[in-house]
Amino acid sequence: MQMPETRVLLKHAEDPELRTLAGYKRYDGYGALEKAYRQMEAEEVLKELEDSGLRGRGGAGFSMGKKASFLPRGEMQKYLCCNADESEPGAFKDRELMQRNPHQLIEGIAIAALAADAGHAFIFIRGEYDLQADILDAAVAEAYEAGYLGENILGTRRDLELVVHRGAGAYICGEETALLDALEGKRGNPRLKPPFPAVQGLYGGPTLINNVETLSNVPRIVAHGAEWFRGFGTEQSPGTKVVSVSGCVQRPGNYEVELGVPTRELIYELAGGPGGGREVKAFYPGGSSSPVLTAEEGLDLPYSFEDMAAAGSMLGSGSIIVADDSVSIPHMALRTARFYHHESCGKCTPCREGTNWTVKMLERMVHGEATPMDLDIVASVQENIIGHCLCVLGDSMAMPVGAMVRKFRGEFEQVMAEAGTAVAA
């Protein structure tokens, strides 16, 4: 018996009409927006979001309601940015959410903007998501037409301008402050924090930045209440999560589950586990930037923010990449490092130089040109990166690569020796 999904965000996702306003309204679409705008005060909406315990689905897992409450009150230009720059290897949940149910996101943005008192909102979508951006453009136009966006929404004298902005193809622009710089038309580089975006963000104004999935949760929280939402998931990780499972599994894809389900069931029952009788060797529990867990460490953990953190990794964006026993961990480390080397913005020293150096050493290892010292140096370089960078991109390479060297040192030594022998021959 296969473990069932708990479809909340992806409910009715199979209906191709859902992406249109008419289709969305058939399933009570924009009911939450009407409730929030007509019957609730902004502070009530904010309180509902805080009470729900909804944690950010983009990676950091910070309480969404609390983040929104950090915005200063009072008359000033405030902004809301939806981070749709989903670019991390292994993550593809936002793509499906936007493609199948764009109005759910738009409704969530409109409600969050009410809570945050923001008059301008942006969806910063990665440039490669062309289809999804087209779908969003069409849906935003429908929402304007129907009076859910624009001036004087539902006659409540509240305005919201929503713009879909396509990124130009840099992973770093998913970092929230780099996203702001890119949106302002500058080179997409992270900013120093503090000041945090909630205080000084887009164009210097207070700015709330949330992930697509986070905002997609908002309509139902408002419609059904915080208590209903807390009925899913665990105490510290309430709600459902769309998990992208990929790598060595037979049925890769997005699965929506309650947070806290056993990881083993996610990988084996929903995604079908590795094929050909092979076994899971290790997996990234939260995208390519999370420290890998070995099968022994991770398979029997509940899939929640707190349990992944306790195991020394993180739930991140909720993207599981599975490596079975046919996968060479040193090659996987190299592939990971190459991605971050390619995407490092170059602003701060440890990330710019550390990703470059790590790739060079890992390349020599798998090509048989490494010295025995290199393994220690690779480990040391990762330690020298972690905690020393301007943003988390450097750590995002150093943590998984460091974990792989630490946990699979024997395999690294073996690969180095075998490759070295091959070169010598």
Among 342, 417, 422, 423, binds another protein (CB under 8 A): 342
Residue 251 sits at φ, ψ, to 5 deg, of: -125, 70
Determine, following the binding rule CB under 8 A, whether residue 95 of this chain makes contact with another protein: no
Smallest gap from Cβ 176 to another protein, in A, equals 16
Instruction: Bin 321: left if φ > 0, else alpha if -120 < ψ < 50, else beta.
Output: beta
Among 6, 214, 319, 355, binds another protein (CB under 8 A): 355
Among 354, 400, 402, 420, binds another protein (CB under 8 A): 354
Build a one-symbol-per-residue string for 154-193: x at contacts with another protein by CB under 8 A, - elsewhere. ----------------x-x--------------x----x-
SS3 state at 209? strand
Angle CA(338)–CA(272)–CA(55) in degrees, nearest 5? 65
Nearer residue to another protein within complex by CB, 361 or 403? 361
Instruction: Bin 195: left if φ > 0, else alpha if -120 < ψ < 50, else beta.
Output: beta
Build a one-symbol-per-residue string for 237-256: x at contacts with another protein by CB under 8 A, - elsewhere. --------------------
Region near another protein per CB under 8 A, out of 10-18, 313-321, 352-360, 414-422 = 352-360
DSSP one-letter code for 277: T
Smallest gap from Cβ 188 to another protein, in A, equals 9
Nearer residue to another protein within complex by CB, 110 or 378? 378
Nearer residue to another protein within complex by CB, 27 or 196? 196
Among 231, 275, 346, 372, binds another protein (CB under 8 A): 346
Bond before 194 cis per omega within 30 degrees = yes
Determine, following the binding rule CB under 8 A, whether residue 77 of this chain makes contact with another protein: no
Q: How many residues bind another protein (CB under 8 A)?
A: 32
Dihedral sign, Cα of residue 17, residue 21, residue 26, residue 28 = positive
Which contacts qualify for 148-153: CB closer than 8 Å, 24 or more apart?
148/30, 148/33, 148/106, 148/107, 148/110, 149/106, 149/110, 153/37, 153/110
Among 136, 212, 345, 399, binds another protein (CB under 8 A): 345
Determine, following the binding rule CB under 8 A, whether residue 200 of this chain makes contact with another protein: no
Smallest gap from Cβ 358 to another protein, in A, equals 11
Determine, following the binding rule CB under 8 A, whether residue 33 of this chain makes contact with another protein: no
Of 237, 212, 391, 406, which Cα lies nearest the Cα of 307? Answer: 237
Determine, following the binding rule CB under 8 A, whether residue 63 of this chain makes contact with another protein: no
Determine, following the binding rule CB under 8 A, whether residue 12 of this chain makes contact with another protein: no
For 245, 262, 282, 306, the CA distances from 270, given in Å and listed in that order, are 9, 11, 17, 22
- Specify the amino acid at residue 368: G
Angle CA(216)–CA(113)–CA(85) in degrees, nearest 5? 50
The strands making up 280-284's β-sheet, listed across from edge to edge, are 253-258, 240-247, 319-324, 280-284, 293-294
Which helix H or strand E contains 322, and what residues bound it?
strand 319-324
Build a one-symbol-per-residue string for 366-405: x at contacts with another protein by CB under 8 A, - elsewhere. -----x-x---x--x---x--xxxx---------------
Per-residue H/E/C for 107-143 = HHHHHHHHHHCCCEEEEEECCCCHHHHHHHHHHHHHH
Region near another protein per CB under 8 A, out of 133-141, 159-167, 227-235, 344-352 = 344-352
In this structure, what is the dihedral angle of CA atoms 45, 49, 52, 53, given to the nearest 10 degrees? -160
Determine, following the binding rule CB under 8 A, whether residue 137 of this chain makes contact with another protein: no
Give the separation between CA 310 and CA 318, rounded to whole angstroms: 16
Among 360, 372, 414, 423, binds another protein (CB under 8 A): 360
Among 82, 347, 362, 415, binds another protein (CB under 8 A): 347
Smallest gap from Cβ 275 to another protein, in A, equals 36
Smallest gap from Cβ 331 to another protein, in A, equals 19
Determine, following the binding rule CB under 8 A, whether residue 356 of this chain makes contact with another protein: yes
Determine, following the binding rule CB under 8 A, whether residue 207 of this chain makes contact with another protein: no
Which residues contact another protein by CB under 8 A? 170, 172, 187, 192, 341-350, 352-357, 360-361, 364, 371, 373, 377, 380, 384, 387-390
